[in-house]
Amino acid sequence: MKPEPLQGKDLLSIRDLSPGEILFLLDMTDSFREVNERDIKKVPSLRGKTVVNLFFEPSTRTRTSFEIAGKRLSADVINVTASASSAKKGETLRDTARNIEAMATDVVVVRHSASGAPAYLARDLCCGVVNAGDGCHEHPTQALLDLYTIREHKKEFEGLRVSIVGDIARSRVARSNIIALRKLGAEVMVCGPATMLPAEAGSLGVRVTTRLEEAIEWADVLMALRIQLERGTGTAFPSEREYAATYGINRKRLLGAKKDMLIMHPGPINRGVEMSPDVADGPFSVILEQVEYGVACRMGILYLLAGQRGEGGGGLAGDPPGKSRVRVAEAEDAVAH
Amino acid sequence: MREEAGSDQVRRTLRRLAHEIIEQSGDLGNLALVGIRTRGVTLAERLSHIIENLEGIRPPVGVLDVTLYRDDLDRAGGARTRLKKTDLPFSCAGQDIVLVDDVLFTGRTVRAALSALVNFGRPGRVLLAVAVDRGGRELPVRADFIGRNLDVLPDEEVQVLLEERDGRDAIIVRESPDFAKKHIPKDIAPHSSALEDFS
């Protein structure tokens, strides 16, 4: 497996990426990390480019991360949140996005509660679209920063064992991570109460267990997911207290773990539910590293996607590489007819 | 393809450049070399080694990737180039810095390197050393130390081969229509010398 440049104009899902493209994005993350370690954490490469964060779901970490990433590249970053947008007035998603694009935007970062919303927009827009989480589908940038964090500590993915604990069925973080890890040769075990395990576990190529102890003992990396009450997880178990008692990761449960096991969490943590504070802040934890690398990871993605528009910018791209050619061809057809 | 210099000539050229750098720098203890990726770095390491042999002081060598400071991100493939790390193991503040690159052409790479450098502190003085100056400047940039001046056509590509990377030392010139296509923007007349570097 060798790194190979990103092909599409968008970043919509890990499923679309080849193993080489994933490695390419991890290498980009590595390079941008150096910028974040400087005294002056800013480079001029996206000066004059515009990035719009279009968030239809609440988010602090991901939105801030994209905003910082864009600003460190000198792009103008504009945040649009659903509660303050014309979506409240009944405008369709497509219209909102096309209006934003009409203002000569280079990249739109979309988070939406509907699976497939970013892909729907990407078909319609000439600018780059980044999926920052769509429903129960995927959260590709989270998986990329998770993989980068793992690689920093474990070097190789081949044969690495990663356990993911929590609401696997409804988690876009779990889905993106499982697909990415499998593409790079890691083994994955998912763990949670039966009501939270996906029906398609077999096709994802993962092991399944309902016993937390088994998932911990087996793992080189233990990834806990947030209990997402807003996504209907509440119906999957009787109470948070019972979940914590059975699947909460605490120090006692880690006794059987490998000595160099990593503990990860995509945040925000429900302390005392899926993870106890002493574990979240403990020696195995790389949770804040994940956040740190997230900025570098998103810088790489914005740099690649914003830099691909043809000269002149605005309107239809001159000759953008990848998928957007289809769009240009369509437009030419429309003119011809 | 023609060879403008063989390994002996390249070695002697670098030795002369090292002598010139020593002569020009007042305080060798305050001197640092910064190589522009990729071949500039190898050249900077060579020069540092020669200076150490001559004067007993080894100037530190920094690595600069100017990709993020380029002005041609929108050119086809601009953003698809692979970014590498910048690594300056010293503070630039007050330092005498010699930027090192293989071929000086339009001057745009040097412009980008200067923008990058000032982000790491305010250097005392910045000088430029290149193995080859092939002319064709698009910016008011000149080198302080020049290994060799070459007069070449716009569609000719100059390459500095280095033993560490290419197995031998040489300076070669070859006709390269691809090179011209890649570097002459569409909106500029074909006879223009608007070509870029190839690091």
Task: Let me know whether A301 and A281 are in one domain.
Answer: no
Query: Could you tell me the CATH number of the domain that includes residue A237?
Result: 3.40.50.1370
Which of A290, A306, A321 is the last residue before a domain boundary?
A: A290
Residue holding tokens 């071929």? B103
- Could you tell me if residue B174 is inside a domain? no
Task: Let me know whether A154 and A265 are in one domain.
Answer: yes
User: Which pLDDT score is estimated for B182?
Assistant: 63
Task: Let me know whether A247 and A331 are in one domain.
Answer: no
User: Which pLDDT score is estimated for A202?
Assistant: 79
Whether the per-residue pLDDT at B79 is higher than 70: the answer is no
Whether the per-residue pLDDT at B196 is higher than 70: the answer is no
- Could you tell me if residue A313 is inside a domain? yes
Residue B31 φ then ψ, to 5°: -100, 135
Residue holding tokens 């968030």? A55
- Could you tell me if residue B163 is inside a domain? no
Please name the residue of chain B whose CA is at the shortest distance from the CA of residue A106.
B74
- Could you tell me if residue A47 is inside a domain? yes
Name the band, by pLDDT with cuts 50, 70 and 90, for residue B20. very high
ipTM: 0.74
What total number of domains does chain B contain?
A: 1
Task: Let me know whether A228 and A250 are in one domain.
Answer: yes
- Measure the CA–CA gap between B4 and A145, rounded to whole angstroms: 47
Whether the per-residue pLDDT at B197 is higher than 60: the answer is no
* Average pLDDT over all residues of chain B: 87
Query: Could you tell me the CATH number of the domain that includes residue B96?
Result: 3.40.50.2020
pLDDT tens, residue order, chain A (337 aa):
899 988 889 999 999 999 999 999 999 999 999 999 998 899 999 999 999 999 999 899 999 999 999 999 999 999 998 777 777 788 899 999 899 999 999 999 999 999 999 999 999 999 999 999 999 999 999 999 999 999 999 999 999 999 999 999 999 999 999 999 999 999 999 999 999 998 887 788 999 999 999 999 999 999 999 988 766 656 788 888 999 999 999 999 999 999 999 999 999 999 999 999 999 999 999 999 999 999 999 999 999 999 775 433 333 333 334 434 334 334 434 444 4
Cα A12–A41–A54 angle (5° rounding)?
30
User: Which pLDDT score is estimated for A125?
Assistant: 94
Q: Which chain B residues have any C-beta within 8 angstroms of a chain A C-beta?
A: 65, 67-70, 73-80, 82-87, 115-116, 119-121, 185
User: Which pLDDT score is estimated for B80?
Assistant: 63
Whether the per-residue pLDDT at B77 is higher than 70: the answer is no
Task: Let me know whether A121 and A144 are in one domain.
Answer: no
* Stretch B4-17: mean pLDDT: 96
Interchain CB distance below 8 Å, B68 and A304 = no
User: Which pLDDT score is estimated for A50?
Assistant: 96
Please name the residue of chain A whose CA is at the shortest distance from the CA of residue B119.
A40
What total number of domains does chain A contain?
A: 2
Whole-structure pTM over 0.90, yes or no? no
- Could you tell me if residue B92 is inside a domain? yes
Which residues in chain A touch residue B37, judged by CB atoms under 8 angstroms apart? none
Which residues in chain A touch residue B85, judged by CB atoms under 8 angstroms apart? 30-31, 34
Interchain CB distance below 8 Å, A31 and B85 = yes
Residues A142 and A13 sit within 8 Å (Cβ to Cβ):
no
| CA-based nearest distance B159→chain A, Å | 25
Interchain CB distance below 8 Å, A27 and B87 = no
Query: B93: how many CB neighbours lie within 10 A of its CB?
Result: 10
Residues A163 and A191 sit within 8 Å (Cβ to Cβ):
yes
Which residues in chain B touch residue A300, judged by CB atoms under 8 angstroms apart? 83
Residue holding tokens 């100037």? B59
Give SS3 for A107.
strand
Which residues in chain A touch residue B67, judged by CB atoms under 8 angstroms apart? 45
Interchain CB distance below 8 Å, A44 and B80 = no
Pick from A164-178, A303-317, B5-19, B77-91: least confident: A303-317
Domain residues for B21?
A: 13-150
- Could you tell me if residue A13 is inside a domain? no
Interchain CB distance below 8 Å, A308 and B68 = no
Domain residues for A102?
A: 19-139+293-336
- Could you tell me if residue A282 is inside a domain? yes
- Could you tell me if residue A6 is inside a domain? no
Task: Let me know whether A155 and A200 are in one domain.
Answer: yes
- Could you tell me if residue B61 is inside a domain? yes
- Could you tell me if residue B108 is inside a domain? yes
pLDDT tens, residue by residue, B137-188: 999 999 999 999 999 998 899 999 999 999 999 999 998 877 766 665 444 4
